[in-house]
Structure 1
Amino acid sequence: MSLLAVRDLKVRLGAVQAIDGISFTVGRGEFVGLIGPNGAGKSTLLRTVLGLLPAQGEIAIDGKAAAAMSARERAAHIAYLAQEREIAWDVPVETAVALGRAPHRPAFAGLRDADRDAIEQAMRRMEVDGFRQRPATELSGGEKARVLIARALAQDTPLLLADEPAAGLDPGHQIALMRLFAELASEGRSVVASLHDLGLAARWCSRLILLDRGRIAADGMPGTVLTPQRVREIYGVTAFFGTAAGGNVVQPLDLAEPDEDGAAQR
């Protein structure tokens, strides 16, 4: 049974058809990179799966219709990392991470041993345990990003949705995060992350879904989705393609020149 099943999903934002009839499933143990140019529908898709936007079509989470699930029930199945990295609460880092345990315990109940273990593991994985008592509002942008990722990890759900999780992180922490997501997939959990960095997507994801104008342009292994022609047509750039250290390397190089017939690249 798939963790997430989307069928003929359509989302309209004002006059714009943001998602236009897409279908796909996500099974256990997958690290899916959701890629595509700005405005392709990546963030809209993630927010719709979470029930934050009205839509037509069907969404099932772990075999159950999402429309029939309460917010708490959905949060027990899916953790979400939003694009925004601001932390509004003047609380210690450890308290901010502990908020990820809310779906697993009754309201106003204290932390159990299982909660504390999940919080500690999440903080260690994101290397924020060293400043657990610092006010979260005083952290740098990259540190806040890592705290919010730790909060999502502490939620300990079968499926993690992340909207541009590598944004604001330095290269070392970007790679560490991609490695972590791959480890979660190897443990049987699944991750769906929207990514603008094609190099990270090509190297670390087990599968890529390429969105373009609200539709799926390609879905499959990174080497079959990211091709020179497709990158040129959809992103309007040329890129270097290769392999190194056992993984794919994709590095955008320059804007693509117009075709011979003079057609402009976007």
Structure 2
Amino acid sequence: MTLLSGSDLHVSLGGKEVLHGLTFEVAAGEFVGLIGPNGAGKSTLLRAILGLVPSQGRVAIGGGDSTTMSAMERARHLAYLPQEREIAWPVSVEMLVSLGRAPHRPAFAALTHEDKVIIEQAMRRMEVEAFRDRPATQLSGGEKARVLIARALAQDAPLLLADEPAAGLDPSHQIALMRTFSGLAGEGRAVIASMHDLGLAARWCTRLILIDKGMIVMDGPPRQVLTQEVLRGVYGVETYLGEAQGAFVVQPLDVVGGASAVPNDGASA
């Protein structure tokens, strides 16, 4: 089942075209890593899908034309975690996470039992239930990130868009987040996450869309996308590609031509 599709998607910002005719589909059960260098257009693509920047072309969400959807209807189909981690109001952590249920109930309506169960599950998944009563503005950067992810999970939408969700998290919580996203895909939902950590993308994503200069360069399984040739050409880096515990390992080593760059050591690409 296709949860999201884009056809010939163009975006111009400040008079300059930054996305050049992107076409793609995302199906239920996929964990898609959106990768590419800084300025490639990853965040712009996510914002175009959400209707936050003007675009040309067609975006369909859950089979329906996104331009005909109200903001509330769109929020029931997809949740969004932006790059920004700022929290303006000193509400409690639990209250902030509960805002994820807003698309599913009338304004000012009390939380239902189902709402409370989903909120609790989201906080438990992100390990923030221990400080549920603390003002969210008093949290560390990593804690804020986990709380905002929990809010997105509480939205319980079939599709989750996340812009650099692992930024600011320590390795343990990065891995826990990847497990959560993988679990959501396993439940029949879909996740699209903009990522700079190629190691996490290679290990956890079922599919990668590589964007460079506003165009899709590669789209496929991690082992197909993350090759030495592609990584040199797009990122300008020498990379170790290998295996560990049955998983694909990708570790950038140096810029192309750097003094400390080393060969692949026989690992398969």
| TM-score normalised by L of structure 2 | 0.95
**Cα drift, residue 68 of structure 1:** 0.4
Query: What's the % identity of the aligned pairs?
Result: 67
SS in 1 for 2:201: helix
Q: Equivalent residue for 1:48?
A: 48
SS at match of 2:2: coil
Structure 1 residue aligned with 2:231: 231
Asked if residue 91 in structure 1 is aligned to residue 91 in structure 2, the reply is yes
Structure 1 gap segments, 5+ residues each: 259-266
2:87 match: secondary structure? coil
Distance in 1 (CA, whole Å) between partners of 2:17 and 2:194 is 19
Which structure 1 residue ranges, 4+ long, deviate > 4 Å from structure 2? none
Deviations 1:168-206 (A, max 9, x none): 000000011001100110000100000000000001000
Structure 1 counterpart of 2:206: 206
Task: Look up the match of 2:262.
Answer: none
Cα separation, 2, equivalents of 1:17 and 1:224: 28
Alignment of 1:69-80 (within 5 A): 69-80=69-80
Distance (whole Å) between structure 2 residues aligned to residue 257 and residue 126 of structure 1: 41
Residue 120 of structure 1 corresponds to: 120
2:58 matches 1:65: no
Aligned mates of 2:93, 2:216 — CA distance in 1: 38
State the alpha-carbon separation in 2 of the partners of residues 246 and 86 from structure 1: 38
In the other structure, the counterpart of 1:261 is none
CA RMSD of superposed structures (Å): 0.8
Task: Report the secondary structure of 1:79's partner residue.
Answer: strand
Within 5 A, what are the aligned runs for 1:1-266?
1-257=1-257
Q: Offset of 1:246 from its aligned partner?
A: 1.2
1:15, distance to aligned residue in structure 2 (A): 3.0
How far residue 30 of structure 1 moved from its aligned partner, in angstroms, is: 0.2
2:263 alignment partner in structure 1:
none
The number of aligned residues is: 258
Partner Cα separation in structure 1 for residue 226 and residue 185 of structure 2: 21
Matched AA of 2:132: R
3-state secondary structure, aligned to 1:106: coil
**3-state DSSP of counterpart to 1:52:** coil
Q: Higher mean Cα deviation, 96-105 or 15-24?
A: 15-24
Write the letter of the residue equivalent to 1:204. W
* Separation in structure 2 between the aligned mates of residue 114 and residue 16 of structure 1, nearest angstrom: 46
